[in-house]
Chain A
Amino acid sequence: MKKILLILISIMFVSSMLFIGIGCKEEETAPAEEAVEETTEEVAEEEVEEEAVEEVEEEIDWAAKNITINMWWLLMPDDYWTKMIEDFEEEYGINVKVEVLPMPSEDTGWTRIAAGDIPDMWMYYYAGEWLYRFNPDEDLRDLSHVIDASKILFNLNMVATRNEKLLYVPMTPAGPMAAYYNKEVFADIEGELPNNWEEFKALLQKAKDSGYIPLYMPGGSGWPYQVPHFMYLAEALRDSALMDGISKNEIAFTDDRFVQSVQEMKNLADEGLYNDDYLTASYESGQIALMENKALCMTMGEWFLDAILATHGQEEVDKKIGFFGVSKDSRVVPWTGSPAGQFLCPKTGDPDREAATDLFISYITGPRYQEFINSALKAPVYEGFDIPEGMSILLLETAAAMEDSVPTWKTNVSASCGDVVAPLNELMAGTITALEAMEAWDFEFTQNAKATGIEGF
């Protein structure tokens, strides 16, 4: 038995050394060989894509191939999605396996991808900051042969495309970030829509003086701190040189415009313009305060409306809630993509599954898309479809606001900034300064840009 145990330990040791050896061996490949391998891989990938397109066009007996598409979702699919998937399975004989990733879903997904478990479609953040956690050129499929990017509305292709490759399947509009306010409270304090940040603060002060919570900040959830920062900075992002400079390492996040924007977020707290418990307050309690006329406004993205529409109904929400954009010097609104309803497709290396995925994308963005937006009551993001009847007036207004909007820096920055929320939380807790928060972003961004291999870092 002693020998058996020794043999087992030896096997474990040898196998661990083999793992290490495999890791090291790859770096020993000569550059010339790598170049040949890469070229061969590119040619092979192009061939695979061409074959996939041809296969989609041909009459294929999908059922005989017994293919399953794996989809990772953030949320349980609603009844309409469930029916659409069932109809697709019935029509083509392709199985669609939907898996809802446990929260935090992005971490769960990344851990699985690191272990080699790659989905065919992933409902994923519609923003460059998240996109670049992939190596998009190498790891994501170009979907331009399935969707005509020129027919995508609201300038969404600004973030859906990269190097003329379409990397996302947008299904719903992006979310403009603005102050969603209670119209009754607004009328009670005789407020006027602000044209710049100073007027916004004056409006909040007026609400405070009248005994209302001026701006409900659900800081317990962490991420909502970002929104006032995005709003304040929107004007500066009209100048594309700012983000170009950051992406090329010519400008740092410690630029005054960034520092000032997060400082303003903190100033609102210091001036008592948030709820008293902003450090721990929840998102849900903010919705309640807003709908029960206790708070004047919340700074949120358009996705926030889905929850209150579901809990309070369209009629009440349209009657009670309005929104306005405001930035440092104007009313321009920043927008970002919500992860819900947007998909990207990692390369799996399986031509049959990739072709079946293409077919599914064509199905959901083609013949079934009008039904989808009618069900979701959202504005279409592709040309040639009608705005659904009965859509919330507020949602129509938010869609219209996209006309004077700029994407947030997260949508087109060239690498991930890592955990952007943590330094903001520290700033709000008073443990670091605005400059230190931006230094933390810059440090993470630089490290990730280096890891991604971006030129200039």
Chain B
Amino acid sequence: MRLFRSFGRRNYYLAAPALIIILGIFTLANILNFYYAFTDWSIYKDEVSFVGLENFYVLTEAGHIWPDLITTIKYAISYMIAVNIYSLFIALLLEKKSRINNFFRALLFIPILLSPIATGYIFKGILSSKGVLNNIINVFTNSDISIQWLGSVTFTLFIVSLVQAWRASGIAVLIYIAGLSTIPEELIEAAKVEGANYWQIVKNIKIPLIGPSTTINICFNLIGALNVYAFIVAMTNGGPGRATEVLNIFVIKSFSSGRLGYATAGSLILFLVVAVFAFILIPILRKREVEL
């Protein structure tokens, strides 16, 4: 009720369209998702019957849900780490306002404007065994190697996450630059007077003071990566084997089998994983910001 009281009348009107869309599209869909995950809803018959936990039992029996869940989490964490390290590095390089920095900020923002599917296919070509990357390596090493960057069951997942981190880093860079611009210049000057070098200033002043930017970048990128689909489909389609098969790919494949209740159970697990990550992560990072 405090929420309602704190809102002005005009704000209610402004929020109403967004609320209607969220309630209609997101909330309703999720309520139905919870329900259908416990039914035998399928394309094979009109009736929908409650089957309890059977879909979850079958998911476990099929043996793919847990490996795919682990793959999803591995991908999300490696992507989140890569995108944050890369974006912070770029943000520190480009934080000063200058024409050349503005130019590079714009340039580095371009990849996020590309479609994930298009980027995925382009990098699939670059990283193929006869692709550009292997050719460059061969030119510099004067050899004839043919590394299968996308053919390893151990490291392909991380390569895909690195490429996606490069593609999606534009927004994270802007958020870090915005965070860095809020740090009072006096603090930096004081540290310099005390004899701190650049690395000490970054480590002890800048990184701690951009906590809110870090929170946003970690949460958004982690949650976004848990929901990844198109980019991986374009680059590896879940292969080799199932090495890059994330939960969303599994869910889409399950839907195409026609057992919709079963597929919905898979998507419910993904929803719960995302929710758990969000609920755990946000308070921890917020607390860290307050402590600072």
- Residues of A participating in the B interface, judged by any CB pair closer than 8 Å: 1-2, 4-5, 8-9, 12-13, 15-16, 19-20, 23-24, 26-27, 104, 106-107, 110-111, 113-114, 133-135, 219-220, 222, 276-277, 279-282, 285, 416, 418-419, 422, 425-432, 440, 443-444, 447-448, 451-453
Q: Given A5-B19, A419-B257: A135 and B44 within 8 A (CB)? A: yes
Tell me if B208 counts as interface (CB < 8 A to partner A): no
Q: Given A135-B45, A416-B257: A20 and B240 within 8 A (CB)? A: no
Tell me if B50 counts as interface (CB < 8 A to partner A): yes
Tell me if B118 counts as interface (CB < 8 A to partner A): no
Q: Given A428-B241, A443-B61, A444-B257: A19 and B47 within 8 A (CB)? A: no
| Measured CA separation A227–B62 after assembly (Å) | 25
B128 CB contact (under 8 Å) in A282, A429, A451 = A282
Tell me if B221 counts as interface (CB < 8 A to partner A): no
| Measured CA separation A16–B28 after assembly (Å) | 6
Contact A276 B146 (CB under 8 A): yes
- Residues of B participating in the A interface, judged by any CB pair closer than 8 Å: 4, 7, 9, 12-13, 16, 19-20, 23-24, 27-28, 31-32, 35-36, 39-50, 58, 61-63, 124, 128-130, 146, 148, 150-151, 153, 237-243, 245, 252-260, 262
List B contacts of A5 (CB < 8 A).
Answer: 4, 12, 16, 19
List B contacts of A16 (CB < 8 A).
Answer: 28, 31-32
Contact A448 B240 (CB under 8 A): no
Contact B259 A1 (CB under 8 A): no
Smallest CB-CB A-B distances: 3 pairs? A429-B241, A1-B12, A277-B129
A422 CB contact (under 8 Å) in B23, B39, B40, B253 = B253
Q: Given A1-B9, A422-B242: A26 and B47 within 8 A (CB)? A: yes
Contact A281 B241 (CB under 8 A): no
What are 20 pairs between A and B in contact, CB < 8 Å? A2-B4, A4-B16, A16-B32, A19-B28, A19-B32, A26-B47, A106-B256, A110-B258, A114-B43, A134-B43, A135-B43, A220-B128, A220-B239, A277-B129, A282-B128, A285-B130, A416-B257, A422-B245, A431-B241, A447-B259
List B contacts of A276 (CB < 8 A).
Answer: 129, 146
Minimal Cβ-Cβ distance residue in A for B27: A12
B151 CB contact (under 8 Å) in A4, A12, A134, A279 = A279
Q: How far is the CB of B95 from the nearest CB of chain A, in Å?
A: 39
| Measured CA separation A443–B62 after assembly (Å) | 7
List B contacts of A428 (CB < 8 A).
Answer: 240-241
Contact A280 B129 (CB under 8 A): yes
A-B contacts besides A106-B256, A280-B239, A451-B258, 7 pairs, CB < 8 Å? A5-B12, A8-B20, A222-B237, A279-B239, A428-B240, A451-B40, A453-B45
| Measured CA separation A107–B260 after assembly (Å) | 12
| Measured CA separation A113–B256 after assembly (Å) | 11
List B contacts of A426 (CB < 8 A).
Answer: 241-242
Contact A8 B19 (CB under 8 A): yes
Contact A110 B28 (CB under 8 A): no
| Measured CA separation A422–B71 after assembly (Å) | 15
A277 CB contact (under 8 Å) in B27, B36, B128, B239 = B128
| Measured CA separation A279–B47 after assembly (Å) | 42
Contact A448 B16 (CB under 8 A): no
| Measured CA separation A447–B260 after assembly (Å) | 12
Q: How far is the CB of B134 from the nearest CB of chain A, in Å?
A: 10
Q: Given A111-B255, A280-B150: A23 and B28 within 8 A (CB)? A: no
List A contacts of B40 (CB < 8 A).
Answer: 451
Contact B42 A26 (CB under 8 A): no
Contact A23 B39 (CB under 8 A): yes
| Measured CA separation A280–B124 after assembly (Å) | 9
Minimal Cβ-Cβ distance residue in A for B261: A451
Q: How far is the CB of A190 from the nearest CB of chain B, in Å?
A: 28
| Measured CA separation A428–B151 after assembly (Å) | 11
List B contacts of A447 (CB < 8 A).
Answer: 58, 62, 259, 262
Q: How far is the CB of A417 from the nearest CB of chain B, in Å?
A: 9
Q: How far is the CB of B2 from the nearest CB of chain A, in Å?
A: 12
List A contacts of B31 (CB < 8 A).
Answer: 13, 16
List A contacts of B245 (CB < 8 A).
Answer: 422
| Measured CA separation A45–B156 after assembly (Å) | 53
| Measured CA separation A187–B255 after assembly (Å) | 48
Minimal Cβ-Cβ distance residue in B for A6: B4
Q: How far is the CB of B258 from the nearest CB of chain A, in Å?
A: 5
Q: How far is the CB of B48 from the nearest CB of chain A, in Å?
A: 4
Contact B44 A452 (CB under 8 A): yes
Q: How far is the CB of A71 from the nearest CB of chain B, in Å?
A: 20
Q: How far is the CB of A170 from the nearest CB of chain B, in Å?
A: 23
Q: How far is the CB of A24 from the nearest CB of chain B, in Å?
A: 7
Contact B242 A451 (CB under 8 A): no
Contact B242 A431 (CB under 8 A): yes
List A contacts of B239 (CB < 8 A).
Answer: 219-220, 222, 279-280, 425, 429
Contact A429 B257 (CB under 8 A): no
Contact B47 A27 (CB under 8 A): yes
Minimal Cβ-Cβ distance residue in B for A22: B48
List A contacts of B258 (CB < 8 A).
Answer: 110, 133, 416, 448, 451
| Measured CA separation A13–B30 after assembly (Å) | 12
List B contacts of A285 (CB < 8 A).
Answer: 128, 130
Contact A281 B255 (CB under 8 A): no
| Measured CA separation A287–B262 after assembly (Å) | 39
Q: How far is the CB of A141 from the nearest CB of chain B, in Å?
A: 16
| Measured CA separation A419–B250 after assembly (Å) | 10
Minimal Cβ-Cβ distance residue in B for A432: B241
Contact A2 B259 (CB under 8 A): no
List B contacts of A443 (CB < 8 A).
Answer: 61-62
Contact B259 A448 (CB under 8 A): yes
Minimal Cβ-Cβ distance residue in A for B254: A418
B259 CB contact (under 8 Å) in A279, A430, A432, A451 = A451
Q: How far is the CB of B7 from the nearest CB of chain A, in Å?
A: 8
Minimal Cβ-Cβ distance residue in A for B129: A277
Of A1, A281, A444, most B-chain CB atoms within 10 Å: A1
Contact B62 A431 (CB under 8 A): no
Q: How far is the CB of B125 from the nearest CB of chain A, in Å?
A: 9
Q: How far is the CB of A392 from the nearest CB of chain B, in Å?
A: 29
Q: Given A135-B45, A276-B129: A448 and B257 within 8 A (CB)? A: yes
Q: How far is the CB of A455 from the nearest CB of chain B, in Å?
A: 14
List A contacts of B61 (CB < 8 A).
Answer: 443
Q: How far is the CB of A216 from the nearest CB of chain B, in Å?
A: 13
Q: How far is the CB of B212 from the nearest CB of chain A, in Å?
A: 29
Minimal Cβ-Cβ distance residue in B for A452: B44
